[in-house]
Amino acid sequence: MSDYERGTVTLSNGDHLSYIKQGSGPVVVLLPGWSQSAAQWKHQIDDLAQDHTVYALDLRGHGESANSSGGYRIARLAADLREALELADLDDVTLMAHSMGCSVVWAYLEHYGTDRISRLILVDQAPMVTGKPWLTDEEKVTYGCLFPDAAALEGFVTAVNATDTVDGHKEIIRGMFTADIDEDTLAWIAEQNLMMPRGSAADLLWDHCLQDWRDVIVDIDLPTLVIGAEKSIFSAESQRWIADQNANASVVIFEESDGGSHFMFFENPDRFNRHVREFLNA
């Protein structure tokens, strides 16, 4: 990533966010998921920068952004995104977000509407990560609940908070990939994740996983591409549900044999980028 231009935006409270900028043309802003870095979008940056201006943002405390003493909540990340777009004077933006990055997009839309945003690409995030006690098992599948209840979430967040080694974190994220992922790649991704201090990562994960975005999603009418996968941690049904709420949305589901994991954009970037380009050029 050293060949890419990097910039920094300084937020009104003094916090610094780092971003990668590449290319020229219509603007696409890439938001990584929980504990991930902008560098993990490298296959998409290289491809899209041929005819787009690509900004890949390291969220608060992630990647090369400064480790803030607080603010590890989805609502704050959405406020950071809003301020970053304003400071960079970006308008008519396509937002492409992965996993928790989608929750940041939904929070942005809830609080700031569609100002500066023209299209969305939502990559594999459930409307609800943790099931509510009154939901049926069928509803939990429909909404993509990874954790059946708060107790299950507590166990996972506790493990995250206690795991600060590459080998340990590889085991935490291994199930987010297909069996074809190689160990060196998995180690690199774990290293990128561990750039975020574990306490901050645990705080943000807890907040993120207790959100319910269904009421926001049903009001979205922006042109939207939803991308999911059969071998994801989130059900393919949940991705179809998101697309079904929006008459201007389409959905693509990757099969397991085609790199169809939570990180399909990393495991099968050629196919992923092809779908993204078809959407952008439509």
Summarize pLDDT for 34-52 with one digit per residue, the tens: 999 999 999 999 999 999 9
Give CA angle at 186 (182, 188), nearest 5°. 120
CA dihedral (152, 153, 159, 160) in degrees, to 10, reads 160
- Give the strand pairing for 53-57 and 27-31: parallel
Is the pLDDT confidence value at 243 over 60?
yes
pLDDT of residue 2: 46
> If phi over 0 gives left and psi between -120 and 50 gives alpha, with beta otherwise, what is residue 10?
beta
* DSSP classification of residue 147: B
The alpha helices in 88-133, defined as continuous H runs, are: 100-112
Span 5-281 CATH architecture: 3-Layer(aba) Sandwich (3.40)
> What are φ and ψ of residue 88, in 5° steps?
-85, -5
pLDDT of 69: 86
Question: Residue 223, SS3?
Answer: coil
pLDDT over 60 (residue 1):
no
* Residue spans per domain, the chain: 5-281
CA–CA separation, 2 and 89 (whole Å): 25
- Provide mean pLDDT across the span 8-32: 96
pTM of the model: 0.97
